A and B are shown apart, each in its own frame.
Chain A
Amino acid sequence: MCYYNSVVFLYIKLLANDIVQKGDILREYDVIVIGGGVTGAGIARDAAMRGFKTLILERKDFSSGVTGACMGMVAGPVGLPVEREFNEWNVQEAQVLKQIAAPLMHTVPFLTPVFSETEAVNQYKFLQLYYEIAKKYGEREPVFLSREHALKLEPRLNKEIYGATYHEEYAIDVFRLVIENLLSAENYGADVYNYHEVTRILKKNGQVYGVVAKDILTGNEKEFYGKIVVNATGPWASKIAGLADVEVKMRPTKGVILILERRITNVGLQMLGIDMTFKELVPHENTTLIGPTSDDYFGDPDELTITRTEIELILESLSRLLPSLREHRIIRGMAGLRPLLYKWGKPAAKVPRDFKVFDHEEQDDVGGFISVVGGNMTIYRLMAEKTVDLIAKLLDKDVKCRTHLEPLPVNEKPVNISELSQKYNIPEIIVRNMYTRQGSKIEKILSMIEENESYKSIICTCEPVITAEVIYSLEHEWVNTVDDLRRRTRIGVGPCQGSFCTHKVIALLAKRKGWGPLKAQQEMLAFLNERWKGKYPILSKTQIPQEELTQAIYVGLGLRSINSTERDEI
């Protein structure tokens, strides 16, 4: 079943040479991955590691699709008690992630409160089932706590509970996970592009041979040629499949997550919500995430909004566990579309998280084109493995997956945080903070200070983040906008939401990107506007003084939308 027909390919290439304009980049790849979410990144890494010449194209910034809107939780008993089917994959992959991406992860203990004796027993039994699998991997045994002890551990819980089960899961910084996969892919020779939108899939005689992608930043269209094109675009999988005239049927479900402005519990909480769908409260860095919702959504994945109903479903559900929940301020909401496999006969929340790798040669007679749909963030690596296994088969190369064996760049070697903190005379909190994003690379980043002491300066006070890390990210991690940098380093997500760091970051970006002042100002405005959009609908009480100051700073210092600074001669 070899689809690599050298004659056909050569012919197509020659044909392509005629239509390509001068100056466009031509590259030939074994594998072209469309989609820069966690799945696409995982595939790019695996393919590159197996020796395939790989290209990955993401139309916006990496993780700006559903990957960036998920709760960032790994493993644990998937789904809900009583009616769930889970499999060993999640637990296995959690172990792998612990090996390859340890600095990005941290343990989150969870309580699942119960409201009757029956519920207590059932919940406990369910977790024991999970433990049968989990204990093989050294996970801690879930246990039951009485009401008294549950309240001791989490005093603000609803006092009417009959107790709670305790178990542990892991949280991971998904943005960093994706970048690390891409860095690894690049190390193995892959070409990595964000802001490249695939507008056409090149197909001839039932064989896909490449893509046309528009460079969003320059407006230029480029052609890329590849033996296998992989559609890993998540919610847009159907749309991209359509570009090759094939169909991929999905059952997309919309998930909304809300972010509260601080930690409000000691541990995480899980439950079945008001509509019997899974809801959880996750303490995350110095915020709290609550959600998700699960509803069918057949609309445009680019037009996701958050409705009052979705907010209420989350709040109403979780306030049963935590009556004081509504007192806290929601600072942002995120909506994502789970790209689940088409499934008949299940309500949205119960659609299984199976995944499938579609070989379109087999099912649609379109060669050189694969789509991967379904799954969840935790098993991304496994999904990638199966995808690249298929690619290997199609390209007739006997090479096995090693992505589970080799650590990502973030975990290549151990580092001593206290030592580094003392060596460079930087407070430990800054070094440890950096470690949760860059892991073993902090040594390299901190060593930049030896050449340039000013790199020690703090750029973002809210996190905090120092100049060295920002510059390192700018130079190595495909940063094109301030928002990209926000995903890489968490600048601008704290209480001041970029008010005090944006102009410093712009100066650094402008220099490296060769931006003129107008472009720099536009970018600064774009980021501040983006932050503003998340703030103004929930502006209240203690946030108002911050905004008065922000307006005084930027607007009061003469920053205007570009048109209004145009001025006639004085």
Chain B
Amino acid sequence: MEVTYEELVQKSQENYEKIEMVLKKELKEVHLYPEDLEYMDTFGKCINCGLCISVCPVIEEVGINGFLGPREIDVSMVRNVHHVTDQVDVIFKCIGCNACHEICPRKIPTKEIVMFLRHKLLMLDKSKVPTPLHSVMNNFDQHKMFYEPKPIEKRQKIIQRQLKKVGLPYIPDPEKEHADVLFYTGCKAENRLYLMREAAKLILTKLNVDFTMLKDMVCCGYASEEMGDYERRDKLRSELVQKIKKVSPKYIVTICPGCTASLKRIVEKYGLDINVKHMVEYLIDDIGLKNLTVNSNQELVVTMQYPCNLYREFGDYIKDYFKQILENVGNATVKEASISSKCCGGGAYVPLIYPKISNKMLKTKVDAMKEENVKVITTICPECNLSWNTGLHLFDKEKTLELLDLFVFLAALLYSR
């Protein structure tokens, strides 16, 4: 039969679509783009030494039988991206704490590899992504946030009740169009940890900071990135950037470490001249400790939970800042505990998909805190806070431990005079 080149080219579109279907559905082939290959080149090469498994908190809890762990992911799974559908029962157990990266002699970015694998899985076959994540994706589509927000009246009721309990006043959200500081709350504080949100707001108000908040919050995309959903992440981010641009602040101050990390990447990517800081940083760097003088009669002994997303994604100076605020501002005595730097078990969707694992980790931490005679745990992260809440609720029935969020603590001090 005779055929011309032009005729061949004409049929190309139809052929291409057929082939795509075959590759995706039948052969289950993961498509690797040049950017993927370049990105994978940055991962480096694992030497199989096993130091990572000595610090992985998930392996510590459930053993290698429970979670194959960073060693297997870095030496084998990353080379087998084409078989990512077989890796589902491993890649969602990573808690994203980066402890493996911290100890690694080769600095293999395990967390990034895990997110990349999750991304490839999502692109190949969405149905293989664990069910709880589908509702989260829906929430992002419908509500632009991780959670579906509660109805306004209910929310207000809860807020008023919680504020009353700790003796804090209620101040409505500022509605300025422009301000020096944009106070960004993050999905968890916005929809669940109201007290933390309100407390932070109160602190900024008391310190006469020129700040405003977003009327309709949009997620920063960190949570989407953690499940490998780059598409939703980018969509949310561009919406958020529009809103940020309207406010045109000099600073964005957040109370969520995940948001801090994400927003830092956003301002870099979109070329915005804005300083992104976690509240703890802002208070020390920009307000200054001397402006935070408070007299406190309380004799409080507290132990810190370092948030992984700051401590192992930002820098370890965060723990110094955390400590400084507690000691100098709150006059609290900080009790060092060996497990302050260990992940609370709340990250990267493990509590949603594998609550058993997450709870096991929490129990271990609760028990360890009790053993070391810790009385009060302070957090500067909504995820840590939620996690500890669950942990104490499940494993501290005798109520020997108390969870104290730093911002609530600070607000109480500032407003108690």
Taking Cβ atoms with an 8 Å cutoff, the residues of A that contact B are 106-107, 109, 117, 120-121, 124-125, 128, 140, 143-146, 148-149, 152-153, 155-156, 162-163, 166, 262-267, 283, 286, 421, 425, 427-429, 432-433, 456, 458, 461-464, 494-496, 499-500, 542-543, 545-546, 549
Q: Are A144 and B15 closer than 8 Å at their CB atoms?
A: yes
B3 is an interface residue with CB less than 8 A from chain A: yes
Question: Chain A's nearest CB lies how many Å from the CB of B352?
Answer: 20
The 8 A CB mask of B59-72 against A (1 = contact, 0 = none) is 00000110010011
B397 is an interface residue with CB less than 8 A from chain A: no
Q: Are A145 and B79 closer than 8 Å at their CB atoms?
A: no
B37 is an interface residue with CB less than 8 A from chain A: yes
Q: Are A494 and B75 closer than 8 Å at their CB atoms?
A: yes
Q: Are A432 and B86 closer than 8 Å at their CB atoms?
A: yes
Contact of A496 among B47, B83, B106 (CB under 8 A): B47
Chain A interface: which of B25-33, B139-147, B172-180, B255-263?
Answer: B25-33
Q: A456-B65, A495-B48 are in contact. Are A121 and B80 (CB under 8 A)?
A: no
Question: Chain B's nearest CB lies how many Å from the CB of A548?
Answer: 9
Q: Are A264 and B22 closer than 8 Å at their CB atoms?
A: no
Contact of A429 among B5, B19, B83 (CB under 8 A): B83
Q: A461-B48, A462-B75, A545-B106 are in contact. Are A146 and B9 (CB under 8 A)?
A: yes
Q: How far is the CA of A153 from the CA of B32 in the complex (A)?
A: 9
Q: Are B16 and A495 closer than 8 Å at their CB atoms?
A: no
7 more A-B contacts (CB under 8 A) besides A149-B15, A283-B82? A120-B8, A124-B3, A144-B8, A428-B88, A494-B75, A495-B79, A496-B48
- For residue B152, which residues in chain A have a CB less than 8 angstroms away from its CB? none
Q: Are A166 and B47 closer than 8 Å at their CB atoms?
A: no
The 8 A CB mask of B1-16 against A (1 = contact, 0 = none) is 1011100110111011
The 8 A CB mask of B179-212 against A (1 = contact, 0 = none) is 0000000000000000000000000000000000
Q: Are B31 and A145 closer than 8 Å at their CB atoms?
A: no
By beta carbon, the residue of chain A nearest B37 is: A264
B103 is an interface residue with CB less than 8 A from chain A: no
Q: Are A156 and B34 closer than 8 Å at their CB atoms?
A: yes
Q: Are A458 and B64 closer than 8 Å at their CB atoms?
A: yes
The 8 A CB mask of B34-56 against A (1 = contact, 0 = none) is 10010000001111110000000
The interface on chain B, measured as residues whose beta carbon lies within 8 A of the other chain's beta carbons, has a size of 50
- For residue B20, which residues in chain A have a CB less than 8 angstroms away from its CB? 153
Q: How far is the CA of A123 from the CA of B303 in the complex (A)?
A: 72
Q: Are A495 and B46 closer than 8 Å at their CB atoms?
A: yes
Question: Chain B's nearest CB lies how many Å from the CB of A106?
Answer: 8
- For residue A495, which residues in chain B have a CB less than 8 angstroms away from its CB? 45-46, 48, 75, 79
Question: Chain B's nearest CB lies how many Å from the CB of A285?
Answer: 8
Question: Chain A's nearest CB lies how many Å from the CB of B43?
Answer: 10
- For residue B89, which residues in chain A have a CB less than 8 angstroms away from its CB? 421, 427-428
B227 is an interface residue with CB less than 8 A from chain A: no
Q: How far is the CA of A146 from the CA of B144 in the complex (A)?
A: 40
Most chain B CB neighbours (cut-off 10 Å) among A128, A143, A156, A543: A143
B23 is an interface residue with CB less than 8 A from chain A: yes
Q: Are B31 and A121 closer than 8 Å at their CB atoms?
A: no
Q: How far is the CA of A290 from the CA of B29 in the complex (A)?
A: 20
Question: Chain A's nearest CB lies how many Å from the CB of B280?
Answer: 37
Q: How far is the CA of A121 from the CA of B4 in the complex (A)?
A: 7
- For residue A128, which residues in chain B have a CB less than 8 angstroms away from its CB? 1
- For residue A267, which residues in chain B have a CB less than 8 angstroms away from its CB? 23, 29
Contact of A109 among B19, B65, B68, B77 (CB under 8 A): B19
Q: Are B83 and A543 closer than 8 Å at their CB atoms?
A: no
Q: A143-B11, A494-B75, A546-B47 are in contact. Are A263 and B19 (CB under 8 A)?
A: no
Question: Chain B's nearest CB lies how many Å from the CB of A145?
Answer: 5
Q: Are B47 and A461 closer than 8 Å at their CB atoms?
A: no
Q: Are A166 and B15 closer than 8 Å at their CB atoms?
A: yes
- For residue B374, which residues in chain A have a CB less than 8 angstroms away from its CB? none
- For residue B47, which residues in chain A have a CB less than 8 angstroms away from its CB? 496, 545-546, 549
Q: How far is the CA of A458 from the CA of B72 in the complex (A)?
A: 10
- For residue A109, which residues in chain B have a CB less than 8 angstroms away from its CB? 19, 22-23, 27, 29
23 pairs from A and B in contact (CB 8 Å cutoff): A109-B19, A109-B22, A121-B8, A140-B22, A144-B8, A144-B12, A144-B15, A145-B15, A155-B34, A262-B79, A263-B82, A265-B32, A421-B89, A428-B88, A462-B75, A494-B75, A495-B45, A495-B79, A496-B48, A499-B48, A542-B45, A545-B105, A549-B47
Question: Chain A's nearest CB lies how many Å from the CB of B172?
Answer: 51
Contact of A427 among B1, B75, B90 (CB under 8 A): B90
Most chain B CB neighbours (cut-off 10 Å) among A266, A432, A462: A266
Q: A143-B15, A428-B89 are in contact. Are A266 and B76 (CB under 8 A)?
A: no
By beta carbon, the residue of chain B nearest A550 is: B47
Q: Are B8 and A286 closer than 8 Å at their CB atoms?
A: no
Contact of B80 among A163, A425, A429 (CB under 8 A): A429
Most chain B CB neighbours (cut-off 10 Å) among A144, A153, A421: A144
By beta carbon, the residue of chain B nearest A547 is: B47
- For residue A546, which residues in chain B have a CB less than 8 angstroms away from its CB? 45, 47-48
By beta carbon, the residue of chain A nearest B30 is: A266
Q: Are A461 and B76 closer than 8 Å at their CB atoms?
A: yes
Q: Are B90 and A429 closer than 8 Å at their CB atoms?
A: yes
Contact of A120 among B5, B48, B77 (CB under 8 A): B5
Q: Are B45 and A143 closer than 8 Å at their CB atoms?
A: no
B123 is an interface residue with CB less than 8 A from chain A: no
B364 is an interface residue with CB less than 8 A from chain A: no
Q: Are A266 and B79 closer than 8 Å at their CB atoms?
A: no
- For residue A106, which residues in chain B have a CB less than 8 angstroms away from its CB? 27
Q: Are A462 and B76 closer than 8 Å at their CB atoms?
A: yes
Q: Are B48 and A463 closer than 8 Å at their CB atoms?
A: no
B18 is an interface residue with CB less than 8 A from chain A: yes
Most chain A CB neighbours (cut-off 10 Å) among B5, B22, B34, B75: B5
B401 is an interface residue with CB less than 8 A from chain A: no
- For residue A433, which residues in chain B have a CB less than 8 angstroms away from its CB? 86
Q: How far is the CA of A458 from the CA of B1 in the complex (A)?
A: 56
- For residue A462, which residues in chain B have a CB less than 8 angstroms away from its CB? 48, 75-76
- For residue A145, which residues in chain B have a CB less than 8 angstroms away from its CB? 12, 15-16, 19
Q: How far is the CA of A144 from the CA of B81 in the complex (A)?
A: 27
Q: How far is the CA of A318 from the CA of B48 in the complex (A)?
A: 32
Q: Are B33 and A155 closer than 8 Å at their CB atoms?
A: yes
By beta carbon, the residue of chain A nearest B80 is: A286
Q: How far is the CA of A462 from the CA of B68 in the complex (A)?
A: 12
By beta carbon, the residue of chain A nearest B87 is: A429
Q: How far is the CA of A496 from the CA of B9 in the complex (A)?
A: 46
The 8 A CB mask of B105-130 against A (1 = contact, 0 = none) is 11000000000000000000000000
4 closest residue pairs by CB, A with B: A146-B12, A117-B5, A542-B45, A143-B15
Contact of B16 among A120, A149, A265, A549 (CB under 8 A): A149
Q: How far is the CA of A149 from the CA of B11 in the complex (A)?
A: 11
Q: Are A427 and B15 closer than 8 Å at their CB atoms?
A: no
